[in-house]
Amino acid sequence: MTTIDFSPLFRSMIGFDRLSNALETAYRTEPGGYPPYNVEVRGENDYRITMAVAGFAEQELSLEVNENVLTVSGARAEQEKTDAKYLYRGIANRSFERKFQLADYVRVVDARLENGLLHVELRREIPEALKPRKIEIRSDSSTLIEGSKEKAAA
């Protein structure tokens, strides 16, 4: 396994240390898996994760956000043993846990179960204090010029 060294970037980029952790986590995570899911971009600041969780009841699913990590898990209730004999059993009957790394200021705004699909709505909400703003540049010389004109007129 190769480790990427981001230390040269940290000399000029402040606060991006989480980025290296996120990239390393993504590198170690195997693609695919169960259950299948989609991640959609629905607008400039809106996203949706859709997971195929057919067979899971609403009370068997759990969503939790902790330190910018969204964890979606499903725990199947124990099924009664039956005498059923299967020729083929392709429907998964197992619990799962899937984790998604969220960027700063991305929060879960809604989650709903619909036709066997779990839709998790996400929105990036940047605080007003962090949004770009125009800074007025003042000049002391312009104030002096106006002051000298007033003195000359008097």
Query: Does 148 have pLDDT greater than 90?
Result: no
Q: What percent of the chain has pLDDT over 90?
A: 34
Q: How confident is the model at residue 46 (pLDDT cuts 50, 70, 90)?
A: very high
Residues 54 and 97 occupy one common structural domain:
yes
Q: How confident is the model at residue 83 (pLDDT cuts 50, 70, 90)?
A: confident
Residues 65 and 138 occupy one common structural domain:
yes
Query: Does 37 have pLDDT greater than 70?
Result: yes
Residues 53 and 100 occupy one common structural domain:
yes
Residues 61 and 125 occupy one common structural domain:
yes
Kindly report whether the global pTM for this prediction surpasses the value 0.85.
no
**Residue 41: other Cβ atoms inside 10 A:** 9
Residues 116 and 75 occupy one common structural domain:
yes
> For residue 61, with 0-12 CB atoms within 10 Å meaning exposed, 13-18 middle and 19 or more buried, which class applies?
middle
Residues 40 and 23 occupy one common structural domain:
no
- Which of 102, 56, 104 is closest to 79 using CA atoms? 56
Residues 61 and 124 occupy one common structural domain:
yes
How far is it, in rounded angstroms, from Cα 76 to Cα 89? 17
Residues 59 and 124 occupy one common structural domain:
yes
* Terminal C-alpha separation, the chain: 81
Q: Which domain holds residue 121?
A: 32-81+90-153
Q: How confident is the model at residue 134 (pLDDT cuts 50, 70, 90)?
A: confident
Residues 11 and 56 occupy one common structural domain:
no
Gyration radius from the chain CA atoms: 27
Query: Does 45 have pLDDT greater than 80?
Result: yes
The domain tally of the chain equals: 2
Q: What pLDDT digit, counting tens, does each position of 10-25 carry?
A: 555 555 556 666 666 6
Residues 27 and 39 occupy one common structural domain:
no
7 phi, psi to nearest 5 deg: -55, -35
Q: What pLDDT digit, counting tens, does each position of 98-123 carry?
A: 999 898 889 999 999 999 999 999 99
Of the candidate ranges 28-37, 56-65, 127-136, the one whose mean pLDDT is the lowest: 28-37
